[in-house]
């Protein structure tokens, strides 16, 4: 595979930055396009940073014309499910409207290879676990609906004019670069693993388990946590699949193994050697009892195999959070 310039939209964010690290390690040149609303300038270490907004078509075109990327990886989106319930319009505007602008600019610039960050939230309530890619898609929140709309738009564009895309449906991204250079950094933090780690560090009062009466092995929600560097590896493989002439595809990214919240807290206690104070709260709207990936298609199509366990994930996250002297 020859070296290629890849435009990484949202590349200053959590998953985007880890993806740039992986791309650079393979000899590609990641160009980050980010408005830094959720991203971090310090996370852009493996290629140039172009500051710009997803809704700024002329800026997008200018960046595409200057760098001539062979493909685009699109990470830029609002991701907080609770926020999507409170402010659905901004989710549709950013996640759907912003992507339409990006794809339009790409088409004008002659770019027809596109890797899209989607989510298992497009499936909605699991009919069967683990979930395969042909599971019905009935999302239960505006976040999931916004991502499903983009999936449908990309399918239409492929049918219409061969605009090729790989849609990657993530399960729960977690962990950090083992080299400790970058990690999970949201403000405010809402994701389970960093919240549990902050509780173990005494940076927050404790960890609230929302719902203890689910029909799962211990009553708490089960999630498929996937290491961010395993995710990054899959994105690079998806880009290389398209660069090699591969057809459009939709692929789940998960380990195929579910971890309950109680099991996760045990791992955090073991890794940190500290206690995590726990409070129990009511169920949250829009939470599914169990989300676990069937990842066989990713293995078959991309040769991708997740390599890191839940212990590896928590260990890398603990190292990253411990090294940051905040709060």
Q: How far from the centroid of its chain's Cα atoms is residue 37's Cα?
A: 16
What value does the mean pLDDT take over residues 243-272?
A: 98
Residues 141-168 have pLDDT tens digits of 999 999 999 999 999 999 999 999 999 9
Give yes or no for residue 327 having a pLDDT over 50.
no
Least confident span in 73-82, 247-256, 266-275, 313-322: 73-82
Question: What's the pLDDT at 270?
Answer: 98
Question: What's the pLDDT at 306?
Answer: 98
Characterize 2-41 residue by residue with b for buried, 16 or more Cβ atoms within 10 angstroms of its Cβ, and e for exposed: eebbbbbbbbbbbbbbbbbbbbbeeebbbbbbbbbebbee
What domains appear along the chain, each with residue ranges and CATH number? 5-174+226-253 (3.40.50.720), 192-223+256-323 (3.90.25.10)
Q: What Å distances lie between residue 111 and 50, 216, 312, CA to CA?
A: 18, 45, 37
Single pTM value for the model: 0.95
Give yes or no for residue 61 having a pLDDT over 90.
yes
Contact 150, 118 (CB under 8 A): yes
What value does the mean pLDDT take over residues 2-20?
A: 96
> Could you tell me if residue 54 is left (phi over 0), alpha (psi between -120 and 50 degrees) or otherwise beta?
alpha
Question: What's the pLDDT at 325?
Answer: 58
Question: What's the pLDDT at 326?
Answer: 52
Question: What's the pLDDT at 269?
Answer: 98
Residues 181-201 have pLDDT tens digits of 999 988 878 899 999 999 999
Kindly indicate the confidence band of residue 64, based on its pLDDT and cuts at 50, 70 and 90: very high
Q: What is the mean pLDDT of the chain?
A: 95
Kindly indicate the confidence band of residue 1, based on its pLDDT and cuts at 50, 70 and 90: low
Can you read off the two tokens belonging to residue 262? Answer: 């109680």
Give yes or no for residue 68 having a pLDDT over 70.
yes
Give yes or no for residue 37 having a pLDDT over 70.
yes
Residues 102-145 have pLDDT tens digits of 999 999 999 999 999 999 999 998 999 999 999 999 999 999 99
* Exposed/middle/buried for residue 293 (C-beta within 10 Å: 0-12, 13-18, 19+): buried
Does residue 285 or residue 228 have the better pLDDT? 228
Distance CA 275, CA 139 (A): 36
Contact 268, 275 (CB under 8 A): no
- Would you please indicate which residues are annotated as catalytic (active-site) residues? 143
Residues 44-53 have pLDDT tens digits of 999 999 999 9
For residue 282, the tally of other CB atoms under 10 A from its CB is 10
Question: Comparing C-alpha atoms, which of 307, 129, 94, 293 is closest to residue 217?
Answer: 129
Show the beta-strand stretches assigned E in 258-318: 259-260, 278-281, 290-291
């Amino acid at each position: 595979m020859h070296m290629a310039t890849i435009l990484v939209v949202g590349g200053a964010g959590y998953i985007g930055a880890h993806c740039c690290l992986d791309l650079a390690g393979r000899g590609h040149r990641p160009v980050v396009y980010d408005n830094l609303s959720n991203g971090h300038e310090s996370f852009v270490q493996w290629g140039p940073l172009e500051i710009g907004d997803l809704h700024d078509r002329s800026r997008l075109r200018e960046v595409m014309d200057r760098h001539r990327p062979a493909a685009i990886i699109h990470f830029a989106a609002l991701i907080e499910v609770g926020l999507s319930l409170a402010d659905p319009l901004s989710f549709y505007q950013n996640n759907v409207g912003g992507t339409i602008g990006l794809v339009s600019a790409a088409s004008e610039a002659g770019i027809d290879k596109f890797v899209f960050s989607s989510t298992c939230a497009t499936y909605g309530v699991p009919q069967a676990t683990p979930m395969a890619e042909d599971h019905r898609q009935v999302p239960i929140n505006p976040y999931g609906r916004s991502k499903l709309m983009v999936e449908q738009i990309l399918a239409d564009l492929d049918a219409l004019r061969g605009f090729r895309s790989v849609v990657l449906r993530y399960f729960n991204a977690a962990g950090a670069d083992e080299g400790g250079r970058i990690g999970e950094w949201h403000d405010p933090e809402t994701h389970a693993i960093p919240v549990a780690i902050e509780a173990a560090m005494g940076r927050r009062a404790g960890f609230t388990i929302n719902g203890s009466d689910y029909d799962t092995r211990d009553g708490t929600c089960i999630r498929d946590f996937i290491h961010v560097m395993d995710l990054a590896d899959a994105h690079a493989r998806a880009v290389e699949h398209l660069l090699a002439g591969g057809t459009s595809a939709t692929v789940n990214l998960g380990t195929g193994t579910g971890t309950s919240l109680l099991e996760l807290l045990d791992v955090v206690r073991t890794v940190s050697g500290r206690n995590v104070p726990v409070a129990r709260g009511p169920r949250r709207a829009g939470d599914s009892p169990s989300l676990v990936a069937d990842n066989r298609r990713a293995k078959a199509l991309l040769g991708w195999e997740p390599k890191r366990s839940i212990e590896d994930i928590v260990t890398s996250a603990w190292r990253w959070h411990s090294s940051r002297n905040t709060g």
